[in-house]
């Protein structure tokens, strides 16, 4: 096998990729969407159900052992050009204990990075995805191991997807290779402009003026573009017949997706309610469907002409279906769940996944040869 740096420099061989914390395959789908000539030589995931889904869609079951047990020799054996990592986010979330690298859930990630100086064949490329706040750990090892970095905080809203989910991304290249737009080296970038060679002013969604935020949302597709059910209706039985054709026969009725009125009465003031023509919804977490507060948006299915006069209890609120959440995450149409994965498990697995619409152009940018 050619040296990793030689391969990255434009050889005919596909890039050899290791996919850590592979989940249900969001990173691999992003790699495919990016059009990168790459071969995933191994994926690593400890969640058994996530591996069932990954295997169902890709025909390969990820390595399910503890990656903390991997040695430098083990990693060298893969001869990987690139490592893609989406480690557990709980140590860094605003709702969590924020112990950062002191949290046991971060140990496996740190262990992998600490092995890098001891590799005979270190990767040429690194890609790390996590929650906003992860940047505080600074990934100092990238500097110790001769990498140049560009960091991003981006949201699907900036890519035309009506989904508010800012995430942190660290892209790293081992010297002497650098990025196409070297001006952004060692910077935290909050705009997708550099990915498309647009050197506009970097911004983050929360810093936008009211006018700019309106323009950003208007550029997004409406939520109805991502729904299984295109025409809102109060006829649950009719909707159920339509849904059953595209949801892997998970449910016998759409009834299970409607929010009980008792929950509307108790938690209505805390619910984020959106409509089919809305241009934004909130982040879906792994607790979506189990809880209604702070776990993701709910869809109002009341007839449009009745919307303004209807009370919250009359809005006919329902959860987004797993297929709809997958659509908003930009998973392809041929992505499927195995039949034995329960409804709650599907939501949990999707909540731990990533936005393919955001990650794909980042990977395309990372794998591009410097000009």
The count of domains in the chain is 2
User: pLDDT tens, 110-137?
Assistant: 888 889 889 999 999 999 999 887 765 5
Lowest-pLDDT choice from 2-6, 241-245, 356-360 = 2-6
Q: Is residue 222 part of a domain?
A: no
- CATH number for position 55: 3.40.50.150
What is the reported pLDDT for 139?
56
Rounded distance, CA 360 to CA 228, Å? 24
Same-domain status, 201 and 236: no
pLDDT at 64 over 70: yes
**Whether residues 200 and 236 fall in one domain:** no
pTM for the model: 0.85
Least-confidence region, from 4-13, 115-124, 193-202 = 4-13
For helices 356-367 and 26-34, the axis angle rounded to 10 degrees is 60
- Out of 89, 170, 283, 316, the active site residue is 89
Active site includes 220?
A: no
- Spatial separation of the C-alpha atoms in residues 293 and 263, rounded to whole Å: 10
Identify whether residues 151 and 258 lie together within a single domain: no
* pLDDT over threshold 70, residue 329: yes
Check whether residue 62 and residue 195 sit in a common domain.
yes
Q: Is residue 223 part of a domain?
A: no
Residue 245 placed within a domain: yes
Same domain, 169 and 247: no
Residues 12, 151, single domain; the answer is yes
Q: Are residues 43 and 138 in the same domain?
A: yes
pLDDT recorded at residue 252: 45
**pLDDT over 90 at 28, yes or no:** yes
Strand partners, 130: 168
Whole-angstrom Cα distance, residue 64 to residue 308? 51
Model confidence at 91: pLDDT above 80: no
State which residues form the domain around 71. Answer: 4-206+353-367
Q: Are residues 238 and 202 in the same domain?
A: no
Selected residue with higher pLDDT from 288 and 197: 288
Instruction: Answer yes or no: do 184 and 314 share one domain.
Output: no
Whole-number percent of the chain with pLDDT over 70: 76
Whether residue 154 lies inside any domain: the answer is yes
Instruction: Check residues 27 and 249 and name the one with the higher pLDDT.
Output: 27
Could you tell me the CATH number of the domain that includes residue 307?
3.90.120.10
Per the model's pLDDT, the better-predicted residue between 107 and 328 turns out to be: 328
Q: What average pLDDT score do residues 21-39 get? A: 96
89 with 22, same domain: the answer is yes
**Is the per-residue pLDDT at 182 higher than 70?**
yes
Residue 299: strand pairing partners: 274, 318
327 in any annotated domain? no
**Which range has the worst mean pLDDT, 70-84, 133-147, 207-221, 308-322?**
133-147
Q: What is the pLDDT of residue 6?
A: 38
Q: Is residue 156 included in any domain, yes or no? A: yes
CA distances to 4, 9, 89, 120, 125 from 142, rounded to whole Å, are 17, 20, 19, 16, 10
The answer to whether residue 28 sits within a structural domain is yes
pLDDT at 215 over 70: no
CB half-sphere exposure, 208, CA atoms < 13 A? 16
Regarding whether 184 and 271 lie in a shared domain, the answer is no
User: For residue 370, which of 6, 14, 127, 8 has the smallest C-alpha distance?
Assistant: 8
In a domain, 46, yes or no: yes
User: pLDDT tens digits, residue range 280-296?
Assistant: 999 999 999 999 989 99
Q: Both 166 and 241 in a single domain?
A: no
Residue 9's pLDDT is what?
A: 45
Closest CA to 115 of 182, 45, 67, 163: 67
Confidence of residue 108 (pLDDT cuts 50, 70, 90): confident
Number of residues that this document lists for the chain:
371
């Amino acid at each position: 096998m050619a040296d990793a740096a030689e391969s990255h420099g434009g050889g005919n061989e596909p890039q050899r990729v290791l996919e850590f914390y592979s989940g249900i395959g969001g990173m691999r789908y992003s790699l495919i969407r990016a059009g990168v000539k790459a071969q995933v030589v191994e994926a690593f995931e400890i969640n058994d159900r996530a591996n069932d889904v990954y295997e169902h869609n890709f025909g390969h079951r990820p390595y399910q052992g503890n990656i903390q047990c991997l040695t430098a020799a083990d990693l060298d054996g893969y001869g990987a050009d690139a490592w893609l990592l989406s480690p557990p986010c709980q140590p860094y979330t605003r709702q969590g204990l924020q112990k950062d690298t002191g949290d046991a859930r971060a140990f496996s990630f740190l262990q992998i990075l600490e092995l890098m100086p001891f590799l005979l064949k270190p990767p040429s490329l690194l890609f790390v995805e996590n929650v906003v706040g992860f940047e505080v750990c600074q990934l100092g090892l990238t500097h110790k191991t001769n990498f140049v970095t560009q960091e991003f905080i981006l949201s699907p809203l900036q890519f035309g997807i009506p989904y508010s989910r800012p995430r942190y991304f660290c892209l790293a290249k081992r010297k002497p290779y650098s990025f196409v737009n070297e001006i952004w080296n060692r910077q935290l970038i909050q705009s997708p402009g550099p990915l498309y060679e647009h050197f506009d002013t970097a911004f983050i969604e929360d810093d936008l003026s009211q006018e700019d935020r309106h323009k950003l949302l208007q550029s997004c597709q409406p939520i109805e573009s991502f729904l299984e059910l295109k025409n809102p209706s109060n006829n649950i039985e009719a909707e159920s017949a339509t849904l059953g054709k595209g949801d892997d026969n998970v449910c016998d009725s759409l009834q299970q997706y409607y929010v009980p009125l008792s929950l509307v009465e108790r938690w209505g003031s805390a619910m984020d309610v959106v409509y089919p023509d809305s241009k934004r919804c909130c982040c879906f977490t792994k607790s979506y469907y189990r809880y209604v507060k702070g776990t993701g948006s709910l869809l109002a299915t009341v007839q449009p002409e009745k919307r303004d006069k209807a009370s919250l209890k009359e809005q006919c609120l329902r959860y987004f279906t797993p297929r709809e959440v997958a659509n908003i995450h930009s998973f392809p149409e041929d992505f499927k769940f195995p039949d034995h994965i329960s409804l709650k498990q599907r939501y949990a697995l999707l909540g731990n996944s990533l936005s393919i619409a955001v990650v794909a152009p980042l990977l395309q940018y990372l794998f591009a040869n410097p000009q």
